[in-house]
């Protein structure tokens, strides 16, 4: 099931795709840029992004809205809960 999340052009365009995959699959914490993106903090996200990630912001947003489980992004609370539940490994998080 989860392989369908990553076997697409949108995911291939993400500079930090592998870190995002570990976050979704296993609830691994991610670095500042991705954390701000997942928490829906635009100012922090852009402030922490390098040029490649700024250029890929639309691809990150498109992938999250199209493929990612809705409970893994959108607010600080959702991100904290996702990490504490170990991502998709916790059957109650999907």
Q: Are 26 and 18 in contact (CB under 8 A)?
A: no
Instruction: Tell me, rounded to whole angstroms, the distance of Cα 34 from its chain centroid.
Output: 6
Residue 94, pLDDT > 70, answer no
* pLDDT on residue 54: 97
Eight-class DSSP state of 1: -
**Distance between CA 31 and CA 68 in Å, rounded?**
18
Task: Quote the number of domains for the chain.
Answer: 1
**Residues 69-81, mean pLDDT to the nearest whole number:** 98
Cα→Cα distances 71→33, 52, 74, 75, 83, Å: 19, 26, 8, 9, 11
* Higher-scoring residue by pLDDT: 94, 79: 79
Q: Are 88 and 24 in contact (CB under 8 A)?
A: yes
Q: Which domain holds residue 17?
A: 3-93
pLDDT-derived band at 1 (thresholds 50, 70, 90) equals very low
Over the stretch 4-52, which tens digit does the pLDDT of each residue have? Answer: 899 999 999 999 999 999 999 999 999 999 999 999 999 999 999 999 9
């Amino acid at each position: 099931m989860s392989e369908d999340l990553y076997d697409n052009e949108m995911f291939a365009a993400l500079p930090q795709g592998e870190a995002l995959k570990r976050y979704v699959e296993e609830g691994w914490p991610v670095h500042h840029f991705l954390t701000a993106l997942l928490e829906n903090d635009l100012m922090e996200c852009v402030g922490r992004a390098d040029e490649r990630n700024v250029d890929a912001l639309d691809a990150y947003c498109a992938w999250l809205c199209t493929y990612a489980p809705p409970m893994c992004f959108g607010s600080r609370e959702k991100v904290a809960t996702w990490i504490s539940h170990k991502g998709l490994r916790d059957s109650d998080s999907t």
